[in-house]
Structure 1
Amino acid sequence: MIPSPLTVFFMIIYLLESLTIILQSSLIVAVLSREWVQVKRLSPVDMILISLGICRFCQQWSSVLFNFCSYFNPGSTYRYMSVFWEYTNTLTFWLTTLLAVVYCVKISSFTHPIFLWLRWRILRLVPWMLLGSLLISCVTIIFSTVRHHSEVQLFSMMQSPGNNTVTERLMTFVKNMMISQQMVALAIPFFLFLASTVLLIVSLTQHLGQMQHHHTGHSNSSMKAHSTALRFLAFFLIVFTSYFLSIIFCTMHILWEMKSWFWAGETIIYAIVSIHSTSLMLNSPKLKKGLKVSCCGLEAA
């Protein structure tokens, strides 16, 4: 298959974005691993970030391998490669949600007994929540494997001569099952993320309003910090919501055939992923320091 010039353009952009995400993920893992070695411990947020960095690294490599192998050599063998991408994508959603939950519990000023109980136990709960995210993602991969096996069998049956009416109906059923599974697997962590982020925004907005009502010179720095945090949360919410909607849109419209606009969709999705990773790095003091050190090292070289 010879791609058109426009397709080649989007392929190049997609590759550049993939390399950027791989480098970002590698830097996150390297900086936090060095911190782990030096101080012999990781904070709950750092544990989530290093897990997210490893997951993003594996997800991006699986995306590159599956997309190019399937495009240039379409066949049933490569369909199984997407199962690993679905696993890492689901795990990415749960890790991002876990990060939002931890921030909500630690930063919000709610005094409800549930929040007070979580704030007291969150440090000990994070490792178990990470394990739970892994197990939930493993459950979803079982359904993905069954679905892809059915897809491969139906694809082989459609290549054989004869009446394919029943096969086409089964293929439609598998397509609908794919959409339903992706909706359920991604919607649950996304709505938990949405609830946690909105609660945190509400809490910070209420606190900012109280500080403005009792405005003093001493509170200027706190007000600026709250305003910055609110802007970051709003941006973070928009970016992750865009990623969720992009994945759902592509799941519903790009199923088996590699359309000419497939690479444009991939470019949009991973541009959002790169922006998301960049925002995480720039809002983490440790990662920001590691980024500055890396940049200084490149300039010195």
Structure 2
Amino acid sequence: MVPNQVTIFSIIMYVLESLIIIIQSGITVAVLCREWMNFQRLSPVEMILISLGISHFCLQWASVLYNFGTFSRPVYLFWKISVIWEFMNILTFWLTSLLAVFYCVKVSSFTHSIFLWLRWKILKLVPWLILGTLIASCLSIIPSVIKYHIQMELIALDHVPRNSSSIVRLQMFEQHLSNPLKMIGFGVPFLVFLVSIIVLIVSLFRHWGQMKEYNTNNSCSMKAQSTVLRSLVTFFIFFTSYFLTVVVSFIGTIFDKKSWFWVSEAIIYGLVCIHYTSLMMSNPTLKKVLKMPV
């Protein structure tokens, strides 16, 4: 069991993190929308960041409503909010992966024909890829919608003996199909992110090595490459930690999920907060508004 002091501290941290994430996402959407209104255009990265800002904003409100709403009402009344939370979470994973793919295509120094074709097409493809992430997220939550409908059916069949064939079939689907399909929904975008970041880091390391070998006097360029590599490694570490924490939270077999619930929530959204801060710092427009050094 977790001590009460740890639980109270975790709740306070979760509330503070939620406020920070809501403010961060609101600032991102407001600033980039103002940029679009002033210049009548948005870069592909800014399109992805606006989409991420909206998804983070909705994700955090869904999390807060579900976590605190279930104190006063039965959990099953809030299943729709939990489905919204899962949808926004998967959408966030897909959009982050799309951002990694974009940087991989634009920044990497590979000259393979596939990379050259993508580099030429990526600017026009980004709006369609954002739409694709939306469709993929909708498809990914179908197992969860079915699962919660099954839970409603089990509640309605509470008077039926637990060993009846209908209840056994519903429970088997929930246990053996729902969670694996849910892990696939989270795992596929993370795999795309992982491959993109690894390819980009390998490309930058190779380019950095070439610069170090043939252009030793260009210290400014090498310093910039080193800064980019550190940023990518940090981005990789925090997003991977967020993914693993969410997976462990879903599985719920490593620890007592009920007693450690608020601790896991504080950890998850602490990682989200740091991850989103790194995204904001990567955009010059947001840096300028927040008075961060470029």
TM-score of the pair, normalised by structure 2: 0.92
Partner deviation per Cα, 1:119-164 (whole Å, 9 max, x = no partner): 0011000000011111111122333212211122213434x3x632
Map of 1:51 onto structure 2: 51
Question: What is the match of residue 131 of structure 1?
Answer: 131
Residue pair 1:29, 1:54 contacting (<8 A) in 2 also = yes
Superposition RMSD in Å? 1.9
Matched, 1:122 2:144: no
Q: CA deviation at 1:4?
A: 4.2
Structure 1 unpaired stretches of 5+? 294-301
Q: Structure 2: how far apart are the matches of 1:17 and 1:225? A: 31
Aligned residues: 286
User: Which residue identity is paired with 2:90?
Assistant: T
Letter aligned with residue 151 of structure 1: Q
* Distance (Å, rounded) in 2 between the aligned partners of 1:71 and 1:173: 28
2:141–2:182 contact (8 Å) kept in structure 1: no
- Identify the residue that residue 227 of structure 1 maps to in structure 2: 226
Is 1:63 the equivalent of 2:98?
no
* Inter-partner Cα distance in structure 2 for 1:8 and 1:72: 18
Question: What is the one-letter code of the residue matched to 2:196?
Answer: S
How many angstroms apart in 2 are the aligned matches of 1:132 and 1:271? Answer: 28
Deviation at 1:35, TM superposition (A): 0.8
- Answer whether contact 1:69 1:78 (CA < 8 A) is retained: yes
Match of 1:191? Answer: 191
Q: Indicate conservation of the 8 Å contact 1:182/1:251, yes or no.
A: no
Query: Residue 245 of structure 1 corresponds to which residue in structure 2?
Result: 244
Which segment drifts farther, 142-151 or 82-91?
A: 142-151
Instruction: Give the letter aligned to residue 271 of structure 2.
Output: I
Counterpart contact for 2:249–2:257, Cα < 8 Å: no
Residue 276 of structure 1 is matched in structure 2 by 275
Aligned counterparts of 2:140 and 2:280: Cα–Cα separation in 1: 29
Per the alignment, residue 81 of structure 2 pairs with 81
Aligned with 1:292: secondary structure?
coil
Please state how far the C-alpha of 1:287 moved relative to its aligned partner: 0.9
Is 2:143–2:182's contact at 8 Å kept on the other side of the alignment? no
Name the counterpart of 1:298. Answer: none
Query: Retained in 2: the 8 A contact 1:94–1:133?
Result: yes
Q: Which whole-Å deviations, capped at 9, do the CAs of 1:249-285 have from their partners, x for residues lacking one? A: 111117xx97121011111100000000111111211
Q: State percent identity of aligned pairs.
A: 52
Amino acid aligned to 1:163: P
Matching residue of 2:33: 33
Matched residue, 2:19: 19
Aligned to 1:296: none
Match of 2:200 in 1: 200
Q: CA deviation at 1:5?
A: 4.4
Deviation at 1:169, TM superposition (A): 7.1
Further displaced range: 148-157 or 107-116: 148-157
- CA separation in 2, counterparts of 1:176 and 1:240? 28
**Aligned residue in 2 for 1:262:** 261
The one-letter amino acid paired with 2:20 is: T
Question: Residue in 2 aligned with 1:42?
Answer: 42
**2:134 partner amino acid:** L
- Counterpart residue number, 1:285: 284
SS at match of 2:109: coil
CA contact (8 A) 1:204 1:230 kept: yes
Counterpart of 2:161 in structure 1 is 163
Is the CA contact 2:14–2:265 (under 8 Å) kept in the aligned structure 1?
A: yes
5+ residue gaps, structure 2 = none
TM-score w.r.t. length of structure 1: 0.90
**1:71, 1:258 within 8 Å by CA — same for their partners in 2?**
no
Q: Partner letter of residue 133 of structure 2?
A: S
Stretch deviating more after TM superposition (41-50 or 78-87): 78-87
- Higher deviation after alignment, 62-71 or 105-114: 62-71
